[in-house]
Structures are given as structure tokens and as C-alpha cells.
Structure 1
Amino acid sequence: MTVENVSEIALIAGSILLENGAETHRIEGTVSSICESYGLSAECLAMSNGILLSIETSDANKITSMKKVCQKQVDLYRIELINSFSRKLKKNLISYADAKKTLDDIQNSPTFTLPVRTVAACMTGFVYSLFFNGSLLDGIASIFICFITYIILEKVAPFDMSQFFKNYLAGFVIGGTSLLAHMLYSPINQNNVITGSIMILLPGVVLTNGIKDVIFGYFSAGIAKFCEALIIIVAVCAGVITALLI
């Protein structure tokens, strides 16, 4: 396999990790490990929206490549698949075509269906409403509100809105529907319902990975993740407050 092929394979693997929410130290380590599996010395720099890779060739020259990543989500299943791919390369090298096919399969691996994800979101709202001292009635209200919110987010996803606006809209829906539920049936505590329902929007994985990056010494990446999490939290809170004020 040529140096260019190894660089492409490593960058594809790194970009899958980055766009699915992996930590910075994991991305850099995996990309470097793939290059080392093919006997090449490499240095990798992962940023919030891209990856830089420099590989030293046999004639002491360096080939530098870059891959930009725009789409972001959280998918721990794809991260695990890339980790397994990297570990297998250490034991058994494969050709460029096979490696490319494996990475394409990982990239296109199926996600949970919309009904499964919707049920998970509803159960999250239900459990957290009870966890924050809500009544069973509050939990049931959270189920319906999480269902409405998640469906709306799925419907607006194809319009390529900014992350801030999508979370603002979701917060507005949660705040408005929680207040409406309280107005229709006063025993429902709107505060407990809102607290439980917004848990489906809070960026727990992003915040946790930001802390991990800071611990591992990747301060710029960690701060970037903190800022991303802060923007989401501010957007959700702004949406809820707007709904309550209106």
C-alpha cells in the first residue's frame, strides 16, 4: 500500500471518529496507530472541525494531508467499530481496497430506527422527571412532550439549520407544551416536566469528552467542546424562557 493510500485510510478513520463524538486523544492515537501498522511514522493533529496528518516517507520526505469534518453527531457504535478496525490492523494487515470497503461499511452502518430513538427519548424524559421529584403525572406528560419535540427535530433536520436555532426551537417547544399541559391540567408541575424533558437535548457526551481532553492535556480541543456544549445549553434555555415569557 502506498503512503497516499495509508494517509487516506487513516484520515477516513479519524474523520469518522471526529464526526461521531470521539475524544481528541482517541482520534490522534487511532490515526497514528493505523499509519504505524503499515510501518510508517506519522504525526496527527485533531481539531474541532478537521484532522491534519503528516507521514514521513522512506526517503525522509513528509506528506501532509488534511480532512475537514462538518457534520457532527454522537454515535458510540461507529466509534467502537473504528477502534476494532484499528486493533485488527495491528494483527493482520489488509489491502487498500479491503480497508476502504470496511470503512465505507462503517460509515454507512445502520443507526437505530426513528421509532426506537423516539421511544428512548420519551423514556429519558419520563425517568428524569421522576428523578427530579416529579410525580407520575409529570412523567407521563414528559413522555408526550419528548415525543412531540423529537419528531419536530427530525422534521427540521433536513433543512440544515444552525445548531443554535435547532436547540432553541426544541427548548421553545418543550417550554410551550409544558406550560400548555399545566394550563390544561393544573396538577401537572410545569417545572418538573421541563426539567425532565430538556434532558434529551443536553450535550452530556460532548461535555464529558471536553473534560477528558483537558485531563489529557488537549486544552484547545477541550475548551472547544466546552464552548459547543455551552452554546447548546444557552440555546435550550433561551427557547424555554421565550416560551414561558410569551
Structure 2
Amino acid sequence: MRTREIIDVAMKAGEILILSGAEVYRVEDTLARIFRSYDVEAECFVLLSGIFITAKGEDDEVISVVKRIKGHINDLQKIEKVNSFSRSLMVKAVSYEEAMEILNAIESTPRYRFSTRLAASGVAAFVYSLLFKSSVKEAVAALFISLMVFTVKENISRVGFFQFFEYFVSGMISGAMSIFAVKLFPEMNLYKIIIGSIMILVPGVAMTNGIKDALYGDTVSSIYRLAEAVFIAVAVASGVGIMLSIGIRWV
């Protein structure tokens, strides 16, 4: 396999990892493993917004490639598959065509169905409400509100609005519906319902990955992840806060 083809394979693998929410150190380790599998001398520098690769090709030719990457979601299934693929190359290197076929298949792997993710969001809201010592009635209210929040958030995401707006609207819906629930059932605690219903919006993965990147010395990516987590938290809090300031007088 020619060096340029190996770079294409590594770049494809790295792109899938970043778009799936992988940590920077994991992406760099995967790319390094791919190059070692084919005995190619290369240096890789990864940011959440791009991948930089420089490799020594045939006749000591130096090849540099840059890939701009925009956006990401959390898809642990694809991350696990790319990791397994890179490790399998250490055992047996495959041809360029076969490698790209495998990576294209991983890239096109469908996410869990909407109904499955919707059900998971409802269960998460219900369980976290109970964890924060809510009553069963309050947990059920948080469950239904979480289902509504998740549905709206997914639809906004498909339209393509920027992330801050997506979480801001989700926070507003959570606050408004929680106030409405307490209006119907005054014995319920407003704040416990809100806590349960916004748990699916908490940027736990971004915070965890940001801390892990910092521990591995990837300061730039760590700051990016933690800043993203802060902006999401501010967006959700702003949405909930606005609805509380408007509707609290009617509770």
C-alpha cells in the first residue's frame, strides 16, 4: 500500500472518531497504531476541529495532509468499532480497498432508533428524579417532560440550528412544562421535576472528555471541551431561568 493511501485510511479513521466524540489522545493513538501497522514513519497532531498528518513516503518524500472537521455527536459504538479495526491491523494489515470498505461501513452504521433513544431519555429522567429524592409522581412528571424535551431537541438538531439555541429551547420547554405540571398538581415540587427533566441535557461526556484530555496533556482540546460544557450548561440554565422568572408567579 502506498503512503498516500495509508494516510487516507488513517485520516478516515480519525475523522470518524472525532465526529463520534472520541478524546484527542484516543484519536492520536489510533492513527499512530495504523501507521505502525504499515511500517510508515508519521507524525499526527489532532484537534477537535481538524487533523494534521505528516508522513515520510516513497523515496523519502514528505507528505502533509490537513483535514478540517466540523461538528460531533456522541456515538460510542463507532468509536469502539474503529478502535477494534486499528487493533486488528496490528495483527494483519489489509489492503487499501478493504480498509476503506470497513471504515465506510463503520461510518454508515446507523445510530440507535429514535424510539430507543427516546425511551432511554425518559428512563434516565425518571431514575435521576428518584435519585434526588423525588416522589414517584414527580418522577413520572419528569419522565414525560423529558420525552417532550428530547423530541424537540432532536427536531431542532435536524434542522441545523446552532447548539446554544438547541439547548436554550430545551431548557425553556423543561421549565415551562414543569411549571404547568405543578399548576395541575400543587403538591409536587417544581425544582425536583426540573432537575429530573434536564438530566438528559447535562454535558457529562464533554466534561469527562475535557478532563481526560487535560490529564493527557492536550490542553487546547481540553479547554475546548470544557468551554463547550459550560456553554451548554449556560444555555440550559438560561432557558429554565427565563421560564421560571415568567411563570413562577402562577405556581
Matches within 5 A, 1:41-56: 41-56=41-56
Structure 1 match to 2:172 = 172
Alpha-carbon distance between aligned partners in 2 of 1:169 and 1:180, rounded to the nearest angstrom: 16
- Residue type at the aligned position of 2:203: P
Asked if 1 retains the 8 angstrom alpha-carbon contact of 2:3 and 2:58, the reply is no
Q: CA deviation at 1:60?
A: 2.7
Q: CA deviation at 1:58?
A: 4.0
Q: CA deviation at 1:71?
A: 2.5
Structure 1 match to 2:249 = none
Matches within 5 A, 1:74-223: 74-223=74-223
Q: Over residues 29-86 of structure 1, what are the superposed CA-to-partner deviations in whole Å (9 max), with x where a residue is unaligned?
A: 1011111211101111111211111111243332111112112100111000000000
More moved, 118-127 vs 27-36: 27-36
* SS state at 2:198 partner: helix
Identity between Structure 1 and Structure 2 (%): 36
* SS state at 2:202 partner: coil
Alpha-carbon distance between aligned partners in 1 of 2:124 and 2:4, rounded to the nearest angstrom: 45
Q: CA deviation at 1:111?
A: 1.2
* SS state at 1:59 partner: helix
Alpha-carbon distance between aligned partners in 1 of 2:182 and 2:116, rounded to the nearest angstrom: 28
Q: CA deviation at 1:175?
A: 0.7
Structure 2 match to 1:234 = 234
- Residue type at the aligned position of 2:12: I
More moved, 44-53 vs 55-64: 55-64
| Unmatched 5+ stretches in structure 1 | none
- Residue type at the aligned position of 1:140: V
More moved, 163-172 vs 148-157: 148-157
- How many equivalent pairs are there? 246
Alpha-carbon distance between aligned partners in 1 of 2:46 and 2:111, rounded to the nearest angstrom: 25
TM-score normalized by structure 2? 0.96
Once superposed, which parts of structure 1, at least 4 consecutive aligned residues long, lie more than 6 Å away?
A: none
Alpha-carbon distance between aligned partners in 2 of 1:170 and 1:22, rounded to the nearest angstrom: 25
Q: CA RMSD in A?
A: 0.9
Q: CA deviation at 1:154?
A: 1.9
Structure 1 match to 2:17 = 17
Structure 2 match to 1:5 = 5
* SS state at 1:94 partner: coil
Alpha-carbon distance between aligned partners in 2 of 1:125 and 1:208, rounded to the nearest angstrom: 20
Q: CA deviation at 1:17?
A: 0.6
Q: Over residues 77-118 of structure 1, what are the superposed CA-to-partner deviations in whole Å (9 max), with x where a residue is unaligned?
A: 100000000000111111111111100100011211011100
1:244 matched to 2:240? The reply is no
Asked if 1 retains the 8 angstrom alpha-carbon contact of 2:4 and 2:57, the reply is no
Alpha-carbon distance between aligned partners in 1 of 2:87 and 2:159, rounded to the nearest angstrom: 38
Q: CA deviation at 1:219?
A: 1.0
Alpha-carbon distance between aligned partners in 2 of 1:157 and 1:188, rounded to the nearest angstrom: 32
Structure 2 match to 1:63 = 63
| Unmatched 5+ stretches in structure 2 | 247-251
Structure 2 match to 1:27 = 27
